Structure 1
Amino acid sequence: MSADSKAPPTQAHSAASSPRMGLRERKKERTRRTIRTEAMRLFSEQGYAETTVEQIAEAADISPSTFFRYFPSKEQVATADDLDPLMIRAVEAQPPELSPLRAFVRATVEVFDALEPDDLEFEYQRMRLIYSVPELASVIARETERNVRMVAQLVAERVGRSADELEVRAFAGALIGAMSTTFDPTTGYGLDMDKIMRVADFLEAGMAL
């Protein structure tokens, strides 16, 4: 499955919100989404380097000080991954008889299938930005390491081992590295489930060439 919606996102990752949030939490979540949506619009229209925190705050109808209560920097607006809690919950909910690899693949399918079109397009837009802006190049390495740690922890809990074990970290690194090859920056990072399934089969077969 791939998605190439051209419509600009109207909000960012509403799927990450809890339906039981109170009024104050919902207002904070709306403000956070507005900041990210307006920031992405400005990044697209005038460039990442040319966009200032003051411009983002003005577009979101907030003060710069309010901006910094939500994001410590302009970089964090682009790099914050709202899918993490959704992925963690989805992996933890997978049947115990599934292998860690299949649990992650199924969780990925469930999370992306559940996203609203605007949220999905926002995520693709965010990834395009990270991989195309030189100022954000260092983010890729940090995000990769962060994802390896997250996957290692989830795998360790699933199989009853330590997240620091070499084999657990090797599995996490292999999974993150292999899955990253399914995203093509030249095509807008559409989610291609055929590629994801092929990679999962390849890993499960021991990566025999």
Structure 2
Amino acid sequence: MSGEGPSLRERRRAETQRMIQSHAMRLFTEHGYDATTVNHVARASGVSTMTVYRHFPTKEDLVLHDRYDPLIAARVAARPADEPLVRRIGRTLVETTREVVGPAGDAPGARSAPEKDLLLARLRLMMDTPALRARHLDGQFATQKAIVDALLGDAPDPEAEFRTWVAASTCLAAMYVALMRWAHEDGRPDLPGLIAAALGDAFDDDFGDALG
């Protein structure tokens, strides 16, 4: 029924995906992306190679797959309709990232979150692996499209669609620069703060109120 949480089957699928991806990231980090095969990942995960491919159609997906696009799209759509586009998108990116990485390092309750560690490992691999950098561009386009579709619906006005694509692509480009700096600095800075600063520089606006 709609409105209910994920089914048992969906939860089990998500758990299997997380388990396989965790083993894959460990192997990629320990042995290198190119030296690790999908067969290696399957053996480490205790599943068949076909099971890995059912969850991750390509080797690159083992690194780049995440669950954030639907979440970001839903949250952007839920923000007040009279809010400027770049603030609807930018604030959502900052707030969602805060949930992923947790409080800033000097804030009460700050800790090393598993999602934060996974994100940092993925970014490091992406920076070092040309094939992953190329696939990341596809992923960024998919995120842009999810945001645009969530904001405009099925039959957008061409001018509104153009403005929304510009806003989404610029916000995500600013976020990408912040992610790269965060990874280069080994995850030490506060990532949501970096994203807010990058958005502020891009749009000459203050996104610090989204830091929470």
- TM bracket (short chain): 0.7 to 0.9
Separation of aligned partners in 2, 1:74 and 1:30: 19
Partner amino acid, structure 2, of 1:201: G
The sequence identity of aligned pairs, in percent, is 26
Counterpart residue number, 1:150 = 146
- Distance in 1, matches of 2:29 and 2:84, equals 40
1:133 equivalent to 2:129? Answer yes
Q: Does 1:202 align with 2:195?
A: no
Show the counterpart of 1:36: 21
Q: Which residue of 2 aligns with 1:79?
A: 64
Mapped to 2, the partners of 1:203 and 1:138 lie a distance apart of 24
Equivalent residue number for residue 186 of structure 1: 184
TM-score w.r.t. the length of structure 2 is 0.75
Normalising by structure 1, report the TM-score.
Answer: 0.76
> What's the CA shift string for 1:93-133, capped at 9, x where partnerless?
21223212111222123322323611122122212211211
Deviation at 1:155, TM superposition (A): 4.2
Structure 1: gaps spanning 5 or more residues? 1-17
**Offset from partner CA, 1:122-146 (integer Å, 9 cap, x none):** 1222122112113323213323333
Specify the alignment match of 2:73 in structure 1: 88
**What secondary structure does 2:66 align onto?**
coil
CA contact (8 A) 1:53 1:64 kept: yes
3-state SS of paired residue (2:60): helix
Residues 64 and 136 in structure 2, CA contact (< 8 A), matched pair in contact too: no
Letter in 2 for 1:182: A
- Higher mean Cα deviation, 186-195 or 101-110? 186-195
Residue 50 of structure 1 aligns to which amino acid in structure 2? A
Return the alpha-carbon distance in structure 2 between the equivalents of residues 128 and 113 of structure 1. 20
- Amino acid in the other structure paired with 1:88: A
Aligned length: 187
1:19 shift after superposition: 7.9
Distance in 1 (alpha carbons) for counterparts of 2:190 and 2:139: 18
Distance verdict in 2 for CA 1:89–1:101, change over 3 Å: same
Greater RCO (CA < 8 Å, at least 6 residues apart) = 1
Question: Which amino acid in structure 2 is aligned with residue 193 of structure 1?
Answer: P
* Pick aligned residue for 1:59 from 35, 44, 51: 44
